[in-house]
Amino acid sequence: MAYIDFLDKIHTGTKRDYLARVLAGNKAEFAATAKQFGFDYWDGSRNTGYGGYHYDGRWLGFAKRIAAHYGLKAGDRVLDVGCGKGFLVHELMQAVPGLSVAGVDVSEYALAHAKEEARPHLLLGSAVSLPYPDRAFDVVLSINTLHNLQLPDLERALREIERVGVRGKYLVVDGYRTEQEKVNLLYWQLTCECFFTPQEWEWIFAKCGYTGDYGCVFFE
């Protein structure tokens, strides 16, 4: 297992007003709405999610870094767990022509509004019970998804990723290193069910049998 930050350029390029989301209204109601993972989360107000999650090509650099690190080549099989609108699935196919990429997500809305080129490769499903056979993918990815699960389901999801993966595994979760980062995360998050320090995440991974790599999003 290794800590690798492939997401730094995307995460740090996003501007966040942490207090605004708290002061804008009833954050508990915002969170309850966001957890439906429908229109409000993806394309509604910034108070309940992304405020419009549109394709802008920002994931191509990330996809290229993933492809280079895990030595992806034409014919390899890659799964994106929590694929949303399929932007990363699309970018992986652009980064490595001939790559076989699949995505799975719980959001019917996201899949219905996915990038057209990626849509045929996406399935409705849950990380806790992946609709694929054992060892179906050379590399399994899960970006900003698993921290939305409560601990029992988190364990199931990690074991599912191990089950369907063969060679490489990489996931990104929310975390914190300081009290300020913890406060910022609490102000900003809408859908998180679990978030920990890197040391705690590694303890959980070991307990759940996860052997892949990981990165954390820190709200500095």
What is the value of pTM for the model shown? 0.94
In the chain, the domains with their CATH numbers are 8-15+58-218 (3.40.50.150)
What integer pLDDT is reported at residue 24 of this predicted model? 82
Q: Which residue has the tokens 């991974």?
A: 205
What integer pLDDT is reported at residue 12 of this predicted model? 58
DSSP state letters, the chain = --B--S-HHHHHTS---HHHHHHTS-HHHHHHHHTT-SHHHHHS-GGGS-S-----STHHHHHHHHHHHTT--TT-EEEEET-TTSHHHHHHHHHSTT-EEEEEES-HHHHHTS-TTTGGGEEE-BTTB-SS-TT-EEEEEEES-GGGS-HHHHHHHHHHHHHHEEEEEEEEEEE-SSHHHHHHHHHH-SS-S--B-HHHHHHHHHHHT--SEEEEEE--
What integer pLDDT is reported at residue 54 of this predicted model? 96
For the chain, list residues with pLDDT below 50: 13
Q: Are 72 and 62 in contact (CB under 8 A)?
A: no
What integer pLDDT is reported at residue 13 of this predicted model? 47
Q: How far, in Å, CA of 132 to CA of 209, rounded?
A: 19
What integer pLDDT is reported at residue 14 of this predicted model? 62
Q: How far, in Å, CA of 171 to CA of 205, rounded?
A: 11
What integer pLDDT is reported at residue 169 of this predicted model? 98
What integer pLDDT is reported at residue 11 of this predicted model? 59
Count CB-CB contacts under 10 A for residue 9.
Answer: 12
